[in-house]
Structure formats: structure tokens, C-alpha cells
Amino acid sequence: MRRCLLFSAFLFAGTLPFSGQSPKPGLKIDDLNHLVRVGDPKMSPDGKQIVYTVSRVDTDDDKNVTELWMVDWDGTNNLQLTYGTESASSPQWSPDGRYLAFTSSRPGKAKGSQVWVLDRRGGEARQVTDVKQNLNDYRWSPDAKQLLLTLREKDEPESDDKNAKPKPPKPIVIDRYHFKQDIEGYLTDKHAQLYLFDIATKKLTKLTSDPGKYDEQDAEWSPDGTMIAFVSNQSQPDPDRVENDDIFVADAKAGSTSRKLTTFPGMDDAPLAWSPDSKLIAYRQGLSEHYTAYGSRRMAVVPARDGQPELKATSVDNNVGPPVFTADGKSLLTTVTDDRVVYVEEVPLAGGEPKRLTEESGTAAGLTAGGGHVALLWSTDTADPQIYSLDGTTLRKLTSHNDALLAQRTLATTEDIAAKSKDGTDVHGLLTMPIGYQTGTKAPMLLFIHGGPAAQDEHRFTVDRQLFAAHGFAVLNVNYRGSAISVGSAGSVRAGDRLPWVRLEDGTDNFASLRSLDWQAHVYGEAHTEIERACALAALSLERFPWSEAASKAGIARDALYVVRPDGYVGLAAASDAPTALRAYQTELSLTFGEVARPHRFEHEQREQRGDDVQGHGHREHRPPAMVLGNVGCHRHQQ
């Protein structure tokens, strides 16, 4: 492991010294049109084959096309299953292994994305569904006679007349708090709903008796065929205002009444996994009700009929991936994100310590199991994601879609680095040196800062590192894990959390003051004189809010001090002795909050604390350097 000062000697421009001309060039920008992306592996029920997707760039039509491939468990018979200009994705084996279903918008008797089926004995794929709604997802029933469809009504129904001219779209009516979503666009009153589709009769019936007010998503059929579990946010009075997905279960018949299984006030996340005996549902639970996208996920199980949710592997404080039951139902397999790698872990349900199954430096994803076999996607710094089998703790490569191209390129290596921050915290990162770099010389360096405190840069194949290294640049990726800029807790709000939103009795909210983008202090309840004085001496704007039930429900402590950073996150939370905590926080971090209006009665103390000559003789002022918080933005190609 290389240890270095992260903000020092690598930032140089100039000619890069090379130890010698590489016989093969590094990655080229044109290579991106020829590299394919392997993903979405699914193990057959008998464990003998793995179907997966391969996405490529169609430069003629200027679009991406996804096709289905299949490989045997021993790595032989790697076959392409689908062809054409329209993509085939979301592969699903029928429970008996006889059929392979997928979704596609290829021409057929119904428009849009539909479910198609391939008979493994041979023949062309045939279109199974002919739904007029938007198809979000699907699952086979255990007897392979039905499909469970996740459908959303279209805002603009399509005409049955193929010769009809397109009608102009209707105006978008916004009447929801959550009215727009990334990728989806504007949201209306149309919600995703679960339907049972009889394959033989083509009959479509709604699963639950819910009138359609809530989204029902990420559904999974129980192995015994009697129940269907799904995820839904049915918070009252308005689910748009609360990020609180829960796990529900319903009998696998039309018009069923669903039952809520989880009561955690935060996120209970998909994907869901049923135990082989249909008694347990595995899922991921959020860290707290105040952490959503930025919070880690913990492994949990809940009984499908009677019982309470239970966290598993509580000793693991890292983010876990989707759960997969082992064939005997005694353990769960998952991935764990930890210090620049993502490894596979086995979690025993009866207790005991989790077991790490992959020790290599790399990134695991897409776990799938069947017939006692396990497969996954595996990637390293110099190897793109491919399908691997996992035999106990041994990885075995099964596919090699990009090997021929990458064999013609010299790929840069990446190494771990570590350093100490000012407060002694270990800071870990990754350093990729230019191809042909000569040790001891200077090289221009690019500092890449990833987005989101819950994310990390890790050992995996990334084209941006390889492209920059091929053009003479070093690339430094730093994983920031928190620092002394987040201190303390009060109520259930911890420093480093985003400030909880609170609606005030006058109809406004506590976020209005955040528009100033200034450091500020919040007190909900009574701001005692000592707090007022401490904020004035610190030149920190104090926002006072009346105590309310809404503040209590948000996890805020009454009369506590919350110092809010310009980015809207809590820097300091102090339930007791707030003035002392504020002084220590400002002094230790050398923070200057800014010039704000302050009560005249504290002006004398203010000048004295700053070091001014109180009598006005020989002005002397010692101010710590200002710390500015903001967002760093960059455009990155995502592999």
C-alpha cells in the first residue's frame, strides 16, 4: 500500500517521462463502441446454465442493443440466444427450466414492451402478453401457468387504429408533492399495480383490492405458490412526503387484501428473496428513518405469516447488496461494500459470524443461485465485468466477451493508498499511474471525487481511469468516510444527517432559512440566553422554531442546538452544554461562520473574544481562515 499526502506533489503539468514505449497502446476512446457490457445473470433452476445480457453499441442506428446469451456451468457452450435490432432484457427462467422469458419491444401483436418466451427445446420466441399498460416487471408463478405483472396505466392511451394520426399530448396536471422523478419524468396519479396474467386464457386480473392509490413494486412469488410479497409506501396522509417503503404480502389470487409485515419508519428495500420453505422473506432495512439514499442497508428477514422482522449480521456495519438464499435455506448470500472492494458474504440465519467468501481485490455484483450453484459478475482494475462461478471461495471465469479487444491494449494498474487527515482519521483511496510511468518522476494528476457519502471508488474496471492513464495522466480517487466536521447527536438526529424537514404550524417549514446557503444554528423550543450568546459570539445566525409534535416526530430534541452546514446537513448536534460544544466545534475546525446581525448587548464580548483592543487602542484581530463547503461537479463516463 502506498502512503502519500493526498493534496501535494502530484499536481504538476509538463511532459511525462516514460520508462519506454509500450508495445501495445492503452485504451482508446473508439474502443467504447466495441466494448460490450455483460450483466443480469440468472441461474437455471437445475444450476446447469446461466442466462445473461450483453449490451452493445449500434453505431449505425445510434443506440444501445441488448441481447441474451447463455453459458453452461462448466464454461462451455457459450451461445447467443436472441438477435435483431430490438433489445431483449430481463431474462427469467420458468420454474421447471423449460422456458426462458424476457421482455422486448420487438414487433408483435401488441405494442410496447411485452413478455416473450423461448422454448429451450427450440423454435422462435413467441409473444405471450398483449397488455396495453406500461410493463415494469414480471415473474413466473411456481407452476408456470401464470405471470405476475407490474403494470402502470399510460397517461396517453394508444389508439387501436394503426392508421390513426397521433393526437397531441394533453397538458400535464401537477397535483402531487412528488411530481417528477429522474428518468421517469413527470409523475401523475397513475401508480404501478400488480396483476395476475393467465398464460393460457390471456386473462388479466388485479392482485390486490387496493384501489390503486399506491405503487406496488418489486414483487416476488413464494416458492409454494400461495403468496406474493411486494414493496409499497402507503404512509398516511401522503406517501409522497415520506420515504418509508414497507414489505407487504398478499394471497396469490385476485382481489386479495394485502398485509403489512414491516413497521420500521424508514426504508425497507427490495430486492426481496423468499426462503425455500416459503416461511421467510429476506430484504434490506435502512439505517434509520432519517437516512434514505445516503444511508447504509442492513440485512433483515421477516416471517411471511406471523412474527417480527429481525436484523441479521448486525456486526456488519457496511452496505449490503441484494439477498440470495442458499439451497438449504440456512444462510443468505449477499455482497458487502467495504474499503475499496465489494465482496461476497454468507450470513447464517441461525446465528454466528458471517463468512467472507471472496478475498480478492475486486467488485462482486449480480449474485444468482440455483441447483446448489452460485454465479455472479466479477470485475477488477484490469478485467471488465464477466460471469464467474463461485465454488465455495473459488472464483472461476465463465465468459470472456471483451478479452480479444483488451488483449490488444496495455491496461493501467491501480493501487491502494492511505493517508492521515488533520484530525488523525485514516483516508483511503485509489491511485492509477499513467501507462509507462517511470518511478520517481512527476506526472500530471486528476483528482476524481465521487458523488454521495454512501458511495465509494473501488477496485473494478473503469474506462475513465484507463483512458486518462493511456494519455499520460495519473488518477486519484479518494474515499471520504466522514470527518470531524460532523460532531454529536441530539434526539435521533446525528451530525452528518440531512436536517429533517419540519412543517410549522403557520404553514411554512424549517427549510426556508436554508435558501441563504449560510451556516446557521437551529433551536426547536426555547433558545436559552447562553445559546444566544454563544451563537452571537460565533457570528452564527440563530433560527428559532416553536416546539411542535412535527419536530418530535422528525427526531429532533427539544431545546437542543443544531448547527446546519451550507449544504443542509447537520454539522453539530448538542442536546446539553451547547455553548461549550459550539465553541469547541468552531475552534477545533478553525471555522468562520460569517458576518451576521447580532444583539448589541454581546458586541463587547464579541470583540474581546476576537482579540480586538476593547478600549479601541491598536486594533488587532486574529481570525481563523474561512472554510467553504460546496459541491464539486464533474462529468464521468459510467461503465
Predicted confidence (pLDDT) at residue 605 exceeds the cutoff of 50: no
Q: What is the mean pLDDT of residues 614-639?
A: 30
374, part of any domain? yes
The CATH number of the domain holding residue 436 is 3.40.50.1820
Average pLDDT of the residues in 96-107: 95
Mean pLDDT of the chain: 85
List of residues 6+ apart from 435 with CB closer than 8 A: 22, 26, 410, 411, 412, 469, 470
Residue that is last in its domain, among 446, 461, 481: 481
Q: What size, in residues, is the chain?
A: 639
> d(Cα 23, Cα 347) in Å, to the nearest integer?
46
pLDDT surpasses 80 at 502: yes
CATH of the domain at 279: 2.140.10.30
Q: Strand 541-545 relative to strand 520-524: parallel, antiparallel, unpaired?
A: parallel
In terms of domains, do 328 and 263 share one? no
Q: What is the pLDDT at residue 602?
A: 36
The pLDDT of residue 234 is above 60? yes
Residue 624 lies in a domain: no
Same domain, 74 and 98: yes
* 221 and 295 belong to one structural domain: yes
Is the residue at 298 inside a domain? yes
| Set of cell numbers at residue 336 | 458487502
Domain count, the chain: 5
The SS3 call for residue 579 is helix
- Answer yes or no: do 189 and 297 share one domain: yes
- Other Cβ atoms closer than 10 A to 459: 20
pLDDT (0 to 100) of residue 611: 38
List the domain range (segments joined by +) for residue 81: 36-130
What pLDDT digit, counting tens, does each position of 154-191 carry? 887 776 666 778 788 888 888 888 898 888 888 888 99
Question: Nearest 5°: phi and psi at 180?
Answer: -145, 145
Sign of torsion, CA 610 613 616 617?
A: negative
Neighbours of 50 (CB within 10 A): 28
Kindly state whether residue 141 falls inside one of the protein's structural domains: yes
What per-residue confidence (pLDDT) applies to 483?
47
The confidence band for 422, taking pLDDT boundaries of 50, 70 and 90, is: low
Query: Which grid cell sits at 537?
Result: 459570539
Spatial distance between the Cα atoms of 268 and 252, rounded to a whole number of angstroms: 22
Per-residue pLDDT tens digits for 18-37: 555 558 999 999 999 999 99
Residue 513 pLDDT exceeds 50: yes
3-class DSSP assignment, residue 388: strand
- Decide if pLDDT at 368 tops 60: yes
Residue 306 φ/ψ, nearest 5 degrees: -135, 135
More reliable by pLDDT, 522 or 577: 522
Q: What is the pLDDT of residue 169?
A: 82
Q: Are residues 240 and 306 in the same domain?
A: yes
Segment 520-529 mean pLDDT = 94
Check whether residue 550 and residue 599 sit in a common domain. yes
Indicate whether 335 belongs to any domain.
Answer: yes
The answer to which of 243-252, 261-270, 288-297, 382-391 has the lowest mean pLDDT is 288-297
The answer to whether the CB of 446 falls within 8 A of the CB of 473 is: yes
Q: Which of 266, 256, 268 is nearest to 218 (CA)?
A: 268
Regarding whether 565 and 554 lie in a shared domain, the answer is: yes
Q: Is residue 504 one of the residues assigned to a domain? A: yes
Q: Cα separation of 247 and 270, whole Å?
A: 9
Write b or e for each residue in 165-176: b if 16 or more Cβ atoms lie within 10 A of its Cβ, otherwise e.
Answer: eeeeeeeeeeee
Domain C-terminal end among 348, 372, 401? 401
Identify whether residues 282 and 147 lie together within a single domain. Answer: yes
> Do 453 and 522 lie in a common domain?
no
Supply 353's cell numbers.
Answer: 459470524
Q: Cβ contacts of residue 341 below 8 Å, gap of 6+?
A: 360, 361, 362, 363, 458, 459
Q: How confident is the model at residue 383 (pLDDT cuts 50, 70, 90)?
A: very high
Give yes or no: residues 270 and 351 share one domain. no
**Are both 397 and 443 inside the same structural domain?**
no
Quick one: 361 and 495 in the same domain? no
